A and B are shown apart, each in its own frame.
Chain A
Amino acid sequence: MRLTSGFRDLMIASLLWGTIGIAVQLAYRDGGSSYGIVFYRSLFSAILSIFITGKSKLLTVKAVALGVIAGIFYEIYAFTIIYDGAPLSSFLLYTAPLFVSIFAFSLFGEKITVTKLLASLLVVGSLYLSYLGTPSILQVLWGVASGASYAALISVSKYLQTKQVTDWDLVGAQSLWSLIPVGLAVPFFREGLFSLGSIWGGAFLCIIGTILPYYFSIEVSG
């Protein structure tokens, strides 16, 4: 029995993403807010993306579209964490594999199999064990919107890879152009925006929660 080569990279990416929840809780203690952390994450990532990606690769319609999808996902998830709470938002985010099955089939004909559907449902059921509550319809809708927007980001990234867009260009495009939707929401989420927690939380998420893990995960899904 051997594990696929991509499994190790995805484990590393998941471990790095797993530190996000810890960092966010510590950032909250320093006055940070969900939206503030997302804002600085996008801002710092956008600055870095200019150095890691060629300017010509960033100034395309595909790059802008991917970045806007990423920004919409960051915002929906940040709001869902506030509205649903951490355990429920985390569990509903992982309705994403179900949406990825549908999007990937529609965009590039990836097969939908019984195994994948069963495993997707198993993940959702397993994460429900961390929540064990009864959410309202609106809470479910926001959570499912997080899962669907996350799935859209994954599926469109993979679709662009089939169009010869490189891994680092994908990371750069997401980082730079996600600033558009995230920046537009500033007037609505000012609380905690200028706190130390939001700034260091955003810097942590930029490096440990965005650039490094997305590189590992994008490389695997290619």
Chain B
Amino acid sequence: MSILMRAREITGRPVVTLDTAEDVAEVKDVVFDHASATLVGFTLNRRGFLGSPMKEVLPWSRVAALGPDAVMIDGAGALGGGDGAMEDATGSDRDVIGAAVMTDSGTALGSVVDVILEVEDGARVVGFEVDGPEVERDRSAATLLIPVDDTIAVSGRTLMVPAAVRDFVQDDLAGFGAAVDAFRARLSEDAP
């Protein structure tokens, strides 16, 4: 069964080993590959108030479980160097929080306040939580959830989404999974 969660809920969670039940780090950044919209792993901070960034990273392939309160790994050996995708992300700052979301027809939808992940065996990016002046005014929600395709176009501080996304906007996570499926079905119907 898949679970939808906000990426920023994961940041700050402790990384706990299954063999010694020790919290060895905490999640600093959530890193995703925009070409495949999949989660590739986490950068880490040392534990404690003075916790500084660690050189080691945690690739998603070495995560044993992602729970509501902790990220579980088999042992401290799971931390280490990442693959190229992780090194690329840690080498430069491309935080999408605050980035503008623009449709391919040229409408700015607002700025990203969070990224929605679907976690099952793997984890993939399925949407953005957006705030801004273009959030439709007849809605009661303060932010809106917009689904994304399985490739996310990122250019500098702008994320590009198809204009059809406006028909699948949701107020909250309940029913968002169905909206993502419907949106992707629409895109594949429209594809030549």
Please say whether chains A and B are actual partners in one complex: no
